[in-house]
Amino acid sequence: MHTGVESPRGVWWKPAHKAEKVWVVLAFAWCMVLFAMMPLWHWKGGQNPSGIRARVEPEAYRARTEEFIASYQVGEEENGIPIVEPPPGSDIYLMGQMWLWTPSLRLQKDTEYTLHLSSVDVNHGFSLYPFNINFQVVPGYDYGLRVTPTEAGDFRIVCNEFCGVGHHVMVGRIEVIDPAAAAAVEGGKPLTLSAPARGEEGDR
Ligand SMILES: [Cu+2]
């Protein structure tokens, strides 16, 4: 009698077919390729950015973001989100929460900033439309990414981590202005912050 608790005697299994062994070897080789690609993407492809990472209490991050807004606010969106224009090279703060990104950022082209990202409730995802940029925004962690906008324009931040019923309306904004182009349009006059020129030469 055989109970199933004891294993059968002898070689009761079929040895792996040659084709199966070939696939195991191929799959393992591919795993190694992908493993090697992780550091390679970092150094060669500019992906998987290494930044500053620190633990932060969500309420402390909220307070820091509010301080940042109070210091550099220049306007307000129609929906009440503050528009902030931080000085070049500064630390800038973006806060994700159900279901908005605060504040809207107005940045200068070809200027480096340290972009801090965090959430004050659940996981969110920072995705900059229309670029292929993706970053997890996790409550309790402050991620500081060194960013340099290379293109002037009006960009949208889309949440790409499902975060509840309002997830699809969670859209933020980053506006990148080109101070050189604006100065040219103004005929050498200092740039007026309220009227950023976005490549509209010939208007005046
Ligand atoms: Cu979301």
pLDDT single digits (tens) 99-155? 999 999 999 999 999 999 999 999 999 999 888 788 899 999 999 988 899 999 999
Banded model confidence at residue 179, pLDDT cuts 50, 70, 90 = confident
Query: How many angstroms separate the alpha carbon of residue 148 from the centre of ligand 1?
Result: 25
Query: How many angstroms separate the alpha carbon of residue 99 from the centre of ligand 1?
Result: 7
Query: How many angstroms separate the alpha carbon of residue 49 from the centre of ligand 1?
Result: 22
DSSP E strand stretches across the chain? 52-55, 73-76, 82-84, 91-97, 100-102, 104-108, 113-119, 124-129, 134-137, 141-147, 153-159, 171-177
Please give the biggest Cα pair distance in the chain. 98
Cβ-contact 129, 158 below 8 angstroms: yes
* Predicted model pTM: 0.70
CB atoms within 10 A of CB 179: 17
